Amino acid sequence: MLKKAERVEFILNRLDELYPEPPIPLDHGDPYTLLVAVLLSAQCTDERVNQVTPDLFARADNPEAMAELEVEEIRSIIRPCGLSPQKSKAIARLSEILIEEHGGRVPDDIEALERLPGVGHKTASVVMAQAFGVPSFPVDTHIHRLAQRWGLTSGKNVVQTERDLKRLFPEESWNRLHLQIIFYGREHCTARGCDGRVCEICRTCYPGRKHAKRTRKA
């Protein structure tokens, strides 16, 4: 078994080899459309969001235009993403708040973002990282699962996992690394396709692991 420092170095180097420039998976044109897309991605695949947002953004791709739409119209467009009653209300209200309190612009402040309807810490962190380039480490259920399999956290919850990953990896790698882990998890270390003994990183980090790695849910 590799020591933790060795695992960290191997993971960083291997993910850089596999995904040297990981793309942002949600289609967007600016911080506002990214914010809306990330909000829509809760309990929904990025692929589905990318199918829905072109129609939504054709009608409203800025807070002023979105605030002019009826909530029911927003809901009818985003229904395939799930949770449409809550998400449509959140999109409508956060658009109004951006106009009222931020001059129609998405703030580059994580606390201000977290105060917006429907925007939790993970969504705010994604926007800070991908729209503004501020070092952040958004942790979703996939990253939470892989961090446990790779022995990087005890994984009691996503808050602890985020704190542990930030402590282990250099700050300049955070924004790139969180995307790299997501892509690797989708392709190689899936919930059903790897149980902690199958994929290359799991095998390398724990070559002697005999049993499936049981992970705690977020």
Annotated active-site positions, please? 122, 140
What are the CB-based long-range contacts (under 8 Å, 24+) for 113-117? 113/35, 116/35, 116/90, 117/89, 117/90, 117/93
Residue 205 to residue 184: CA distance in whole angstroms: 15
Phi, psi of 71, rounded to the nearest 5 degrees: -55, -35
CA distance between the termini of the chain: 26
Query: DSSP states of 138-157 as a string?
Result: ---HHHHHHHHHTTS---SS
- What value does the CA radius of gyration of the chain take, rounded to a whole number of Å? 19
Among 87, 82, 90, CA closest to 43: 82
Residue 93 to residue 67: CA distance in whole angstroms: 8
